[in-house]
Structures are given as structure tokens and as C-alpha cells.
Amino acid sequence: MSTKPTTTDLEWTELDQRAVDTVRVLAMDSVQKVGNGHPGTAMSLAPAAYLLFQKLMRHDPADAKWAGRDRFVLSAGHSSLTLYIQLYLAGYGLELDDLKSFRTWGSKTPGHPEYGHTVGVETTTGPLGQGVANAVGMAMAARYERGLFDPEAAPGTSPFDHTIWVIAGDGCLQEGVAAEASSLAGHQKLGNLVMLWDDNHISIEGDTETAVSEDTLKRYEAYGWHVQRVAQLPNGDLDPVGLAKALKAAQAETERPSFIAARSIIAWPAPNAQNTEAAHGSALGDDEVAATKKVLGFDPEKSFEVSEEVLAHTRAAGDRGRAVRAEWEKSFAEWRAANPERAAAFDRVQAGDLPEGWEKALPCFETGKAVATRAASGKVLQALGAEIPELWGGSADLAGSNNTTIDKTSSFLPAGNPLPEADPYGRTVHYGIREHAMGATMNGIALHGNTRIYGGTFLVFSDYMRPSVRLAALMQLPVTYVWTHDSIGLGEDGPTHQPVEHLASLRAIPGLNIVRPADANETAIAWAEILKRHATKPAPHGLALTRQGVPTYELNPDAAKGGYVLKEAEGGEPQVILIGTGSEVQLAVEAREQLQAQGIPARVVSMPSVEWFEEQDQGYRDSVLPPAVQARVAVEAGIGLTWHRYVGSAGRIVSLEHFGASADAKVLFREFGFTADAVTAAAKESLAAATR
């Protein structure tokens, strides 16, 4: 079916239209073959995705990681075929057989796009709204990267200037994370961000009138976005001319993020399935697929029909990509020649290396002095900030409590912001009270590359950002969460703010490393280890830090192994092992003194990170926790779920299996049984059980 424009500056040929209609056929056939999936949106969005990959985006299929490329985010990840088919047509390495194996075991085309699994996929999407926030983070990272390496360049002239494109659906914009992130993007005036809204009025439960009645364009205008709407063609299809005009206008708008609403008809032009909720998430059926192929001028008896002419036409994207990249590399070489020191820094950052001698800046804290680990973390950040310019971050409006301000004189805020510390390339990010958007934008920042990002809030509010944390773990992204006020030790704010189940539930996320330092020196070691792992063992890390002061012990590099012997037994081999984390390590140390005074040799093991400890070889783990010593006590001011495997059947756990209360921290620890006496009593119970 041809819908060739009559007047336009866009070159849109019969072959372009045939390629778009081929996309629709491939979407139907891929879902029909496996028997499940989401064909409708991939069919209706075909012109938009084709425009981006074949006409507008700066990309090179031969180098999917090229630093100067535009980024494309499919926030509506259920329509994964929208992306997969474009990757196939443009020549990213997917072939027809990959589309034929859609959503099957071992395929390169899983049900939702997965970062690191399929070449050309910039982020894992599926949970709706996450892609919107990821794209906002990418746009933020692009600006910060420009500030690191080419801040004086005029707009649009730097090799670090590029566009972040995102396609979002109705479901994406209903999710709160998208609203948080869109508000942040408008406030930050991210002119390098363009979002196309697939306004198809359909969700799983039918017409979106069941759930939404606001004026979405006015909402985005209120956020501070540049807003456009593209009309349909008379036949109901998306208008490639209008879309191209709007997308180019959006890219030209550099002072605000851009929002384009495109009214589409889901599953267009299927005769019976178009504009139905069934077309959202179900195969169309053999009869409807055949009928739609007839409408499009394809043979209904053939499946996965791609003409050689169409494939040759779309694979020319490779030639265009090489030419665009060669042009970029020329400008990049000119930049390198003019900026040798910055070029050396770029090479270092891109390689994931840290500046030479950076560890000398790490503070060493005086033993014996009581220091809150959140305060120690703040001192580490300020010390390292001067040495590691790519390290940046902030908090969700809790900087004074989280101690996350890396530079008080430099805030990541756009030109025109009235605050005196405002700097488009500033170090300190003010996320506002948007924990979920903070987590999801941090993912986008990490995915963009060439910076190191952290973000803070209270540990209890990690619940607000958990879906983003889970996705960071799924993608193995090197983001760092500074989660403070990590227990009932925060005191009078009471049970709404006191985390109880959070440490155990976060440790349950595969691939997420939780680090709960015992003192200031362990905090410094933890930060150093996290920074070292950025490139070699990329993973998200959550630092759980105290509000209250805790005693400072001698620095021990073995803390980077996740668990180590903090205090050895005296007077013979240990009869009992006391395991502690965070603020409860001091209780284990005090209990050890009591036990030693009673002639019971006791070892104290500090275990800041279970995950790091489990990475160590069996020999090391056995040296810290000798299997022969069955009397063990674990103490942590949270539920005890983590510790059963470490204490065994004879062990005891001093934990908190209920919510907290509003009172002074010392009172709470006493009333809830977190005392040295309680740990000593538990040790004696464990000794008795071990000798039965």
C-alpha cells in the first residue's frame, strides 16, 4: 500500500513505503509464528521507527557503541519488534531467522529488549515508563560529558553533541516514574531529548478513556517541554512527512526537551483488528494476517516476505552510517589535536580507568572516634571529587542528610537558573523528591557511559526506587546508591522512616551488592572498592549508612573482601564467632570482651557485604568462618533472613522482626534487645546448642 507524499522536503519513495509495509508484515508474522507477543504497536509505529533509523538518527550499524552516536530508547518495550525489525533492516546483525525465533529460548529477540543481549539495544525496557526516565538520564549524561571534555564549544558544534530519541506509549506516560522524570527533564531544559508519544488510545483493558482524561500535551507544556502534535493521513496511517517535520523541529529546539504526539491506530491497516485492545498483546490470527497482507499488497501465502530490493535499500543505512561516523571522527580528531589533555582524560574515562594516584586522596579516620558512616561517606566523596572529575551525583532532596554534595559551589542546573551555584555542567545533581526517577535516570546515565554516577536517599525510601534498582541489577550497571539512616538508629522519626526488612529484601535482588560498613574506615574502603569495580566488575552497589556515630576501628583492607576478622579470639582457637554489620559491629566487639573475660575465646567478623564475601574462594571464606566453629551469632538491626546460612543450626541471630518506634536511638536499641549483653547471651545459647 503506497501513501507517497505529494509535497515535502522529505525524500519518501515507493520503496520507502514498501519497506515500512514490510515492517508491518514482519511484525505480524513474528508474533503469529510464536503464538504470542505484541504486533499492533509495531505495525502502527512502523513509519516512525523507519524514519528514525533510515532518515534522521546519527548511527552506524557497524559500530553500535560509537561514542558520537544518537541514542534510541524504546520505552514501550512490549513493542520490541519495533526495534528488532529496524535493527534487522539497517544491518545491526539481526537476520530473518532471528525474527523467526522471536520470544523463544536462546534467541537474540527476547520478548522485551535486553541491554547487552542484542546489539543495538541501548537499554532494557518493558516495565513501562522506565525508558522515558532512562532517556532523561542519557540526556543529562550527554550534557555532563560535554562539560567534562568540550564545555566552550558553541551549541551544535561539539563532537559530544548528540540527540536522545525515545518512543513512549500511553502506558509509559501513565506510570509515575515517567512523570517524575519528565518534570526533571523540563526543569533541566534538556534540549538534546526528543520523545515521540504513540497516542493510540489503546491499553490492555481497552480504550484509554477507561483511565485517563487529562490533556497530555498541556501537561508536558507545564513541565516546560516544547510540544507538537502530528496529524494522521486521511487513511489513518501515520504521516511520514508530518512526522519528519516535527522530529526535525524537535531536534532543532535546543533550549527545551521536545514532546511529539502522534495519533496512531494500533494494528493499522488490519481490516478487523485495528484499533482493538486484542491487537495490543495477541497474535492477529491466520485469517487476519492474510487479510492484512492483501491490503498491503503482499502475498498472503508467504511468511516473512522481504524483497531483495527492500533489504538492499534499508541496508544502505550502513553506508550512510559510515559516512556520518567518518565526518564525526574528523571533527573528533580536530578536537583531540586542540585539546590534548582533555583527550587523554577522555581516553582514560572511556577505558574505565581512574586517575593515577587517586587512592592517595582517600581519607583515613582516627581510631576510637565516633563518626556516622554517612558523614564519613560525605568526606570520602568530597576528597575524591577533586581527583575524579567524572564522578558526580546528588540526592532526592536529602543532600544535607545523605552527605552527597560533592561540590557546594557547583550544581547541575541549566543556564537561566537563578541559583548562584547553577552550572549546566555542575557536579551536584538535585533530583528533587523523585526517588524513582533518580534511580531510573541514574540507569540512563550509566548506560550512556563516560561518567560515574551516584544518588542518595534514606534506606527506607529505596522502596520508591526498587523497580529501577532491579533493572540496574538486571543490566549490571555501575551505579551507586547512598542509602542513609539505615536502621532504627535514626531514632525519633519512627517506624515510617526506620528500615527493617530493607537490607534483606535488597540482598535478595540478584546482581545487587549491598555494602553496610561498620565504621568510617570501612566506608572509605567500600567507596574505593566500588570505584575499582566500575569497569572490571560492573554492578549496582547500595551503601547502607548510619545516621548515628559509631566507633572507628583500624583500617583493614580485607574489608574489600566483604567479610574479614575484625577482632581475633584470644587464649586459643575461637569457640564462638560473632558476625556483625554496620552499627551492630560495635555490639559484637563489646560482647567479645565480655566473653573473653569469662574465658570464652570469641572472634568478631565484620561482614559489610555478603555479596563481596561470596565472591571469595572457599579457602578464604573458611578462614574467616571456620566450619569447625559451629557456635555463631549474627547481629543486625533488621530482619534476620540473611543470616541463617551463616550461623547454621546451632547459631543464633539477634535481629528485629517487627517495625520500630519513635524514640531516641539508644532507647530503641536497648528496648529492642540490641545490646552487648543480648549478643553475649545469644553466644552462650549457641555454644550450648553446638555441644549437644
| Of 209, 169, 185, 173, nearest in space to 135 by CA | 185
- What residues does 605 pair with on adjacent strands? 565, 579
Alpha-carbon distances of 452 from 94, 149, 531, rounded to whole Å: 31, 15, 8
205 CA to centre of own chain: 29
Under 8 Å CB-to-CB from 554, ≥6 apart: which residues? 367, 521
Task: Please write down the HEC assignment for all residues of 157-170.
Answer: CCCCCCCEEEEEEH
Measure the CA–CA gap between 259 and 191, rounded to whole angstroms: 11
**Residue 594, helix vs strand vs coil:** helix
Measure the CA–CA gap between 477 and 509, rounded to whole angstroms: 14
Alpha-carbon distances of 604 from 213, 453, 518, 565, 612, rounded to whole Å: 60, 34, 12, 6, 18
Measure the CA–CA gap between 166 and 45, rounded to whole angstroms: 13
Q: Which residues of 656-665 are buried (b: 16+ CB within 10 A; e: fewer)?
A: beeebeebeb
Helices (H), 642-675: 644-647, 665-671
Q: Report which residue type is found at 578.
A: L
Measure the CA–CA gap between 533 and 449, rounded to whole angstroms: 15
**Phi then psi for 201, rounded to 5 degrees?**
65, 15
Alpha-carbon distances of 214 from 11, 187, 211, rounded to whole Å: 36, 21, 10
Q: Which three cell numbers stand for residue 265?
A: 491506530
CB 251 within 8 A of CB 234: no
The β-bridge relationship of strands 202-203 and 206-207 is antiparallel
Q: Report which residue type is found at 158.
A: S
- Residue 554's CB is within 10 A of a number of other CB atoms, namely 11
Measure the CA–CA gap between 585 and 525, rounded to whole angstroms: 16
- What residues does 652 pair with on adjacent strands? 633
Q: Report which residue type is found at 309.
A: E
Is 253 an active-site residue?
no
Kindly name the residue from 114, 288, 390, 435 that is annotated as catalytic.
435
| Nearest 10 degrees: Cα torsion 479, 483, 486, 492 | -170
Residue listed under C-alpha cell 528500615: 499
Q: Which residues of 418-455 are buried (b: 16+ CB within 10 A; e: fewer)?
A: eeebbbbebbbbbbbebbbbbbbbbbbbbbbebbbbbb
The β-bridge relationship of strands 576-580 and 391-395 is unpaired
Which active-site residues does the annotation give? 435
